[in-house]
Structure 1
Amino acid sequence: MKLTVIHSAILLSLIPATATFAGGLDRSGQSILAFLQPGNYAEAGISVLDPEVKSNQLNVGDMAEDYYFPSAAIKVQATDKISLGLIYDQPYGADSLYPVGNPVFSANGQATRVEVETHNITALIGYQPTENWNFYAGPVWQTVEAEIKLRGLAYQGLSGYNIKVEQEEAFGWLAGFAYQIPEIALKAAVTYRSEINHKADTPETFGFGTVPGNVVVGLPSGTAFKTEVVTPQSVNIDLQSGIAANTLAFANLRWVHWDQFAVTPYYLKAASNNNLIDYSDDQWSATVGLGHKFTNKWSGTAAVGYDSGAGNPVTTLGPTEGYWSVGLGGQYSPAANYFIQAGVKYFWLGDATAQTGGNPVGDFEDNHAIGYGMKIGYRF
């Protein structure tokens, strides 16, 4: 069962880079596997997700927008014992638009809308005291921005509320370690990411723009407020091992600390005593699968996944609770030093009860999503 270095490297890169529809606002999964590749390595990829989230009970058609996000990474083995890396991804996000005309989620020709976008750049330095161990750490630079509009009977007196989270940057950190036995393609890695605290300018308006949301009774006109947004801490565990000639078993386990997560704009809280977004449970997810090298140029993977979600009932801005998934990936390697990879993943999205202000609005059931991904990798 002994595997050559290049076989190990090819199989390691096979985990499909398809989009996810995870608990809370989780999107990319924040993988650092590119940094654990042998030698010098670079990759670039793009993922697309096409979800369908509806509620027959509320007569809501598809309210989940398609979205895509790119990723990139570079890793340099500076010396026998020191490695350096940069990873770019978009770890958290949301993109939803309810149909206009449904009075539950629209009013005055406008519909409830949410857009949340984040960008991450992770810088890594690794120390390998032996060929088996790798200890790594580094800073994380992150930006967050969002725009949310609430419309319709679901929000009662808050229909017409708008908030814009101005782009804000902040820093966190990452640390972890990996153990490997290259001869049998065995690798285990544990990676911790810290929470990142943003305090962003958040202009709020209410009543379809007629009342400034940053003006509260008793405060001068134009009083501005900042809203705290704390992206959660997380732990990733990546496992792989050769189990037969040219065959690899792999798994990824992920924990994200969504419990007690809340976004509480000042004016919204003053007007309603509610949070804009909150979650009640931590997210747990797992992906397990097999990779196989069929020829010197062709390889493939198959994987199944589970995500617990971040609690139920959920916000109307993302009314699903976790998922089950199956995925397939393929890789073509024209030469030993580069490859092209593509993958597809199907999600059975968990049923959820949507709520606003702690009051259930209705159920969203029997939903699904399809994710696609493509990646190019190069060894130099």
Structure 2
Amino acid sequence: MPVQLYAAALETSNQSIASFLEPNDYAEVSTAIINAHIAGKTYRPDANNPSEFSEVSTPNFVKRFALSNVALKLQVQPEWSLGLIYDQPYTTDISYAFKPVLSSSAQLVNAVNFKTDSDNLTALLGYQPNLSWNYYGGVSYQNLDTQLQISGQSMGLLMDYSANAENDSAMGWLAGISYQIPAYALKTSLTYRSKIRHHPLLQEQIFSTPTILALNLSAARHINIETPQSVNFDFQSGINPNNLIYTSLRWVNWEKFKIISPLLSTTEPVSLVDYKKISSPAHWV
């Protein structure tokens, strides 16, 4: 049974080019609906005695969303092949709200809404000098759209922060090599994808309830977001006429993926999204 392990919560695709390595002409279409349930435990103040707390379950954090993958490979000549792959590598839709008093919707302590959408179209060109070797490269065109809303209450004052990174498009590249021995069902590939640098306009706003003009701020500035570089290694081999062994390893440099707020950054940068250490998502089968 295949098992997928991803260390980064934003990653929803392993950006595989396996469809491009299929023999002859090839096409595939797949769709998935993600209906996850992620919840936990927290403490809620008692409605009549705020100094006493009781443990309660949080609501589901994750909203339902859909993912699609489309691939087309054409063997235009015995030595040359063309391919197109569409996927959505970075997607999330998280919503959380905590109210201290069940009967009072106005007493909101904190809430977070975070949504990221991406579309990635990869064009590939491959050269096969013989039946064993395949050298390939190409370009990726990527769209990225991110929204974040945070609400919090302190000393009776409700503060709301919103950030909207408008849809931005940017280009990257990839290159790789594949070796196979069809008689033994042996197939390996190593693929590198470059980072993609986005420069979206980030619109930020802070406002308070009740209104305090000194705390109500807004800004609109272009920022830098780098979707990370990655390396994929795939291996497959026949072990007998009826069985295969195969695995896939993936490394992603998440350490460079950050979203920094110009509005909140004063003496030092304030990150809205930040991976403190390098994560290495892997896909094991």
- TM-score, normalization by structure 2: 0.83
Q: d(CA) in 2 for partners of 1:133 and 1:29? A: 23
Give 1:20 shift. 6.9
Is the deviation greater in 195-204 or in 274-283? 274-283
In structure 1, the gaps of 5 or more residues are: 1-14, 215-223, 290-380
Residues 283, 102 of structure 1: CA spacing in aligned structure 2 closer, same or farther, 3 A cutoff? Answer: farther
Give 1:152 shift. 2.3
* Corresponding residue for residue 257 of structure 1: 253
More strand by share: 2
Work out whether residues 255 and 282 of structure 1, in 8 Å CA contact, stay in contact via their aligned partners in 2. Answer: no
Amino acid at match of 1:281: K
Give 1:21 shift. 5.5
Q: d(CA) in 2 for partners of 1:141 and 1:193? A: 12
Pick one of 28, 39, 55 that aligns with 2:40: 55
Work out whether residues 24 and 279 of structure 1, in 8 Å CA contact, stay in contact via their aligned partners in 2. Answer: no
Give 1:194 shift. 0.3
In structure 2, the gaps of 5 or more residues are: 44-55
Work out whether residues 199 and 227 of structure 1, in 8 Å CA contact, stay in contact via their aligned partners in 2. Answer: yes
Pick one of 68, 71, 88 that aligns with 1:73: 71
Larger Cα-atom Rg = 2
Does 2:25 correspond to 1:29?
A: no
Amino acid at match of 2:261: P
Residues 57, 189 of structure 1: CA spacing in aligned structure 2 closer, same or farther, 3 A cutoff? Answer: same
* Corresponding residue for residue 311 of structure 1: none
Work out whether residues 6 and 281 of structure 2, in 8 Å CA contact, stay in contact via their aligned partners in 1. Answer: no
* Corresponding residue for residue 29 of structure 2: 44
Percent of residue pairs identical: 36
Aligned residue-pair number: 262
* Corresponding residue for residue 207 of structure 1: 207
Amino acid at match of 2:124: L
* Corresponding residue for residue 236 of structure 2: 240
- The alignment's C-alpha RMSD in Å is 2.7
Give secondary structure in 2 for the equivalent of 1:283.
coil
Give secondary structure in 2 for the equivalent of 1:64.
coil
* Corresponding residue for residue 94 of structure 2: 96
Q: d(CA) in 2 for partners of 1:36 and 1:134? A: 8
Is the deviation greater in 194-203 or in 268-277? 268-277
Q: d(CA) in 2 for partners of 1:38 and 1:169? A: 32
Give secondary structure in 2 for the equivalent of 1:80.
coil
Amino acid at match of 1:162: S
Give secondary structure in 1 for the equivalent of 2:20.
helix
Does 2:227 correspond to 1:231?
A: yes
By relative contact order (CA 8 Å, sep 6+), the higher-ranking structure is 1
- TM-score, normalization by structure 1: 0.63
Give secondary structure in 1 for the equivalent of 2:200.
strand
Give secondary structure in 2 for the equivalent of 1:270.
coil
Give secondary structure in 2 for the equivalent of 1:203.
strand
Is the deviation greater in 205-214 or in 129-138? 205-214
Residues 200, 288 of structure 1: CA spacing in aligned structure 2 closer, same or farther, 3 A cutoff? Answer: closer
- 1:256-311 deviations in whole A, cap 9, x for unaligned? 0012432102102239852101002222233343xxxxxxxxxxxxxxxxxxxxxx
* Corresponding residue for residue 82 of structure 2: 84
